[in-house]
Amino acid sequence: MASLYWYRLMASLSKINVSLLLFVIFFFSTHDSTMVEAKYRTSSKNLTNKVSALIVFGDSYFDTGNNNDFFSIAKSNHKPYGIDFPFQIPTGRFSNGVNLADIIASYLGVTEFVPAYLDKTKDLQTLMAGVNFASAGSGYDQLSGQQSNAILIQKQFEYFKEYKTKLELSMGQIGTQLHLENAVFLINYGTNDIVTTYFYGHRKKQFTIEGYLQFLLQNAMNFFQGLFDLGARRIVVAGLLPTGCTPVLGRSNSVLKKPCLLNLYSNLSSDFNKKLQDGINSMQLEFLKYNGIIVYADLFLPMSDITQNPMKYGYEFTDIACCGLGFTDVGLFCNFLSKICTDRSQFVYFDNFHPTQKTYQILFNAIRGVIDLMIPT
């Protein structure tokens, strides 16, 4: 029955309208480590363990495999994902190789690849240096995770509390407090909320778009405060990419000859980023009182520059994904049957929503200064 369902669904893709297509593909939306594309890896900051760990929360842009072992329509633990990861293993990262969280962890010198919290092969000792709670499909809005059967933001928070309890049993309360104070917390949600949940769920009936953005902001602020209350003192909140420039959303607007940076989704991403910045700034004083810091990392601006000036970064394709080469391939639809590009360095996006490893490296280079602010003095 399931196979028949997928066959019929895939066979009908060419007939359904663009709006429904966006909803479907988004939700159906890892050689020795030295062999990972060396030119896209970042040398460690050589911090002599000033940073104790990288602790990650978010959606598919940061997920490193938390969705692998339960039913979810947002999975990437299958080929061709991970084609440039060590041993070409598809780990659950929505990338041809590593993602931004891995690059940041490597730079901070805590771990080469951030393990998923739900990875049963990783013990607490491994998770002490880096742990990832992110789940593809989740968002600041709980409803986003429910629609794709992802790990909800609140559940990610509960998993963190569970993780903290394990640390306390191993390191003691004071040891855990010091460990968390010197850990960097990395957060990114919002894309699922704006691209799918608002327009294809019940939220549009409950909120105006402005009201919904404010709703997301309040949820975000509550989440940041919750982490602070549990001991987080160094938080990096990554803003949204120009979502309207992803291959599938950008192409859907190309008929109107409207630049992707000016379409609805990119505008909403920009609007939310501004609110997020203001909200983060309002929390700075409380963090400073406890020798902490919370900062906003702008991904929108560097990705916009990549989109507008691809040749500057050595790209040829900005509106076509490597996986699918023009077809609507992402998540389950980006699979062993998909056409795959041979030179990933020429593509901004690996699938129709997620950047290539090279693009993640460029984005990291753009926010490196922000990451440096997280390093304890």
Higher pLDDT, 15 or 110: 110
Peptide bond into 80 cis (omega under 30): yes
Q: How confident is the model at residue 281 (pLDDT cuts 50, 70, 90)?
A: very high
Using an 8 Å Cβ cutoff, are 94 and 224 in contact?
Answer: no
Burial of 288 from C-beta contacts in 10 A (0-12 / 13-18 / 19+): exposed
**pLDDT for res 14:** 38
Q: Once rounded to an integer, what is the mean pLDDT over residues 284-291? A: 93
Q: How confident is the model at residue 336 (pLDDT cuts 50, 70, 90)?
A: confident
Superfamily classification of domain 19-372: SGNH hydrolase (3.40.50.1110)
Work out the mean pLDDT of the chain and round it to a whole number.
Answer: 88
Give yes or no for residue 216 having a pLDDT over 50: yes
Q: At what angle do helices 264-289 and 300-308 cross, to 10 degrees?
A: 150
- How many whole angstroms separate alpha carbon 284 and alpha carbon 250? 36
317: helix, coil or strand?
Answer: strand
Which of these is catalytic: 29, 52, 60, 144? Answer: 60
Percent of the chain with pLDDT over 70: 83
Q: Once rounded to an integer, what is the mean pLDDT over residues 243-253? A: 81
**pLDDT for res 251:** 65
Residue found under tokens 């019929």? 8
Bridge partners (DSSP) listed for residue 187: 57, 237
Residue found under tokens 């795959």? 340
How do residues 173-207 score in pLDDT, each as one tens digit? Answer: 999 999 999 999 999 999 999 999 999 888 999 99
How do residues 49-105 score in pLDDT, each as one tens digit? Answer: 699 999 999 999 999 999 999 988 889 999 999 999 999 999 999 999 999 999 999
271 is catalytic: no
60 is catalytic: yes
